[in-house]
Structure 1
Amino acid sequence: MKYTSVKVAKFIRRPNRFIAHVIVDNKEEIVHVKNTGRCREILQEGTTVILEEAKTSMRKTKYSIIAAYKGDVLINIDSQIPNMVVYHGIKEGKIKEIPYVTKLSKEIVYGNSRFDLYFETKDQKGFIEVKGVTLETEGIAMFPDAPTQRGCKHIYEMIKAVEEGYAGFIFFLIQMKGIKYFTPYELRDPDFAKALKLAIEKGVTVLAYDSIVYEDEITIGTPVEVRY
Structure 2
Amino acid sequence: MHYEGILPGVFLDRPNRFIAHVALDGAPVVCHVKNTGRCRELLVPGAAVYLQECGSPARKTRYDLIAVEKGRLLVNMDAQAPNQVFREWAEQGGFTPGLTLLRPETRWGASRFDFYFEAGTRRGFIEVKGVTLEQEGHARFPDAPTERGVKHLEELTACMAEGYEAYVCFVIQMTGMKDFAPNDATHPAFGEALRRAAAAGVGVLARECRVTPDTLTVAGAVPVLL
Asked if TM exceeds 0.5, the reply is: yes
- Rounded Cα–Cα distance in structure 1 between residues aligned with 2:139 and 2:111: 26
Q: Does 1:35 align with 2:48?
A: no
Give the structure-2-normalised TM-score: 0.98
Deviations, residues 128-169 of structure 1 (Å, cap 9, x unaligned): 100000000101100000000111111100000112210100
Instruction: Please list, as runs of the form range in 1=range in 2, the aligned pairs for 1:7-156 lying within 5 A after superposition.
Output: 7-95=7-95, 98-156=96-154
What's the counterpart of residue 157 of structure 2?
Answer: 159
Of stretches 70-79 and 105-114 in structure 1, the one that deviates more from structure 2 is 105-114
- Range that drifts further, 125-134 or 103-112: 103-112
Could you list the runs of 5+ residues in structure 2 that have no partner in the other structure?
none
Quote the offset at 1:15 in angstroms: 0.9
Measured against aligned partners, the alpha-carbon deviations of 1:96-117 in whole angstroms (never above 9, x if no partner) come to: xx22101110100112221111
Residue identity (%): 47
* 1:206 partnered with 2:207: no
Partner AA of 1:179 in structure 2: M
Deviation of the 1:123 alpha carbon: 2.9
Q: Provide the secondary structure at the position in 2 that maps to 1:159.
A: helix
Structure 2 distance, partners of 1:133, 1:99, is 25
Which of 215, 222, 225 is the matching residue for 2:223?
225
> What's the secondary structure of 2:60's corresponding residue?
coil
Count of aligned pairs? 226
* Stretches of structure 1 lacking an aligned partner (at least 5 in a row): none
User: Cα RMSD over matched residues?
Assistant: 0.8
> Which whole-Å deviations, capped at 9, do the CAs of 1:61-88 have from their partners, x for residues lacking one?
1001010001111100100010010011
Taking structure 1 as the reference length, the TM-score comes to: 0.97
Deviation at 1:187, TM superposition (A): 1.1
Ranges of 4+ aligned residues in structure 1 off by more than 2 Å: none
Distance across 2 between alignment mates of 1:219 and 1:162: 30
AA partner of residue 157 (structure 1) = E
- Give CA deviations for 1:183-226 in whole Å, capped at 9, x if unaligned: 00011111111110000010000000000111101011100000
User: Residue type matched to 1:182 in 2?
Assistant: F
Deviation at 1:25, TM superposition (A): 2.0
8 Å Cα contact 1:111/1:157 also seen in 2:
no
